[in-house]
């Protein structure tokens, strides 16, 4: 069949996090290098076909993982996907687990978040003369897209925990035990460094946005071995293992 990557609307945009630098199954890829008024995104936006639908993929940290969480140009990333016609974003976020259901290798689709980041450019409407936006953010993740993720997971036979609260920290260092204990008291189930401002910016531009969190480790002081040291090797191995169901899950989303 002839490649068809340039026609039709984008069915989905996927943003990959730590350990997910390409979208498995994406065919007939074209690499776009958009430059937005906010600057360049983290790397090329790869547009191709998956399950017969047009899909875009962007590695949040760059394909060689060169951009740390606090330096990601979140505005450029979301603006670039929007400019390419994305209306729905599935964000893959590698996280640590804080509470019982969210151990290493679990996939979760959180329904709430708390933002602990600071000093990141977190809004679009900051240019002189632009309207001040107070976007509704009571449900930070689009409920209908979350339902689609959960339905796709069920039909693909991929286990995903439905719900949970994502706490977005500044990084790039990991947290102290006391910080994680505070986050647990606050109601966080998961901790990651990239959930914000990405979700807020997507809402500002009117994009549907859901997070599929990939639990790489127990957060500091959490889990059955509270004194365990978190290593990058463990994180990457757990992400690779937990990601094995992603192609089926994304495929089921596109088929649905």
Q: 107 by DSSP, 3-state: which?
A: strand
CA distance 46 to 51: 15
**Binding segment toward ligand HPA, per CB under 6 A, in 47-55, 57-65, 88-96, 112-120:** 88-96
Question: How many CB atoms are located within 10 Å of the residue 186 CB?
Answer: 12
The most distant pair of C-alpha atoms in the chain lies apart, rounded to whole Å, by 56
Contact residue for ligand HPA among 81, 109, 219, 253 (CB under 6 A): 219
Regarding 192 and contact with ligand HPA (CB under 6 A), the answer is: yes
Nearer residue to ligand HPA within complex by CB, 12 or 235: 235
Contact residue for ligand HPA among 158, 191, 207, 211 (CB under 6 A): 191
Q: How far is the CB of 18 from ligand HPA (least distance, A)?
A: 6
Q: What distance lies between CA 107 and its chain's CA centroid?
A: 12
Is residue 86 within 8 A of residue 210, CB to CB? The reply is no
Tokens of 9: 């609307």
- State the binding string over 129-168 for ligand HPA (x if CB under 6 A, else -): ----------------------------------------
Regarding 217 and contact with ligand HPA (CB under 6 A), the answer is: yes
Regarding 106 and contact with ligand HPA (CB under 6 A), the answer is: no
**Binding segment toward ligand HPA, per CB under 6 A, in 24-32, 38-46, 129-137, 214-222:** 214-222
Compute the C-alpha angle 15/19/21, nearest 5°.
50
């Amino acid at each position: 069949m002839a490649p068809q990557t340039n026609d039709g609307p984008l069915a989905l945009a996927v943003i990959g996090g730590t350990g997910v630098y390409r979208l498995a199954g994406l065919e007939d890829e074209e690499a776009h290098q958009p430059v937005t008024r906010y600057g360049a995104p983290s790397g090329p936006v790869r547009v191709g076909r998956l399950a017969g639908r047009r899909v875009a993929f962007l590695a949040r940290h760059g394909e060689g993982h060169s951009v740390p969480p606090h330096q990601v140009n979140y505005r450029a990333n979301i603006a670039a996907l929007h400019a390419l016609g994305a209306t729905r974003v599935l964000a893959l976020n590698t996280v640590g687990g804080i509470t019982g259901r969210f151990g290493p290798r679990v996939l979760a689709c959180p329904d709430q978040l708390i933002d602990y980041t600071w000093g990141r450019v977190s809004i679009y409407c900051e240019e002189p003369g632009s309207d001040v936006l107070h976007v509704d953010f009571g449900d930070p993740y689009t409920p209908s897209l979350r339902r689609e993720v959960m339905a796709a997971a069920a039909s693909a036979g991929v286990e995903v925990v439905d719900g949970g609260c994502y706490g977005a920290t500044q990084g790039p260092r990991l947290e102290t035990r006391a910080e994680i204990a505070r986050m647990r008291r606050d109601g966080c189930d998961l901790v990651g460094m990239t959930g914000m401002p990405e979700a807020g910016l997507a809402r500002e531009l009117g994009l549907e946005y859901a997070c599929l969190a990939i639990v790489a480790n127990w957060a500091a002081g959490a889990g059955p071995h509270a004194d365990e040291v978190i290593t990058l090797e463990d994180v990457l191995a757990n992400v690779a293992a937990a990601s094995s169901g992603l192609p089926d899950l994304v495929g089921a989303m596109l088929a649905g």
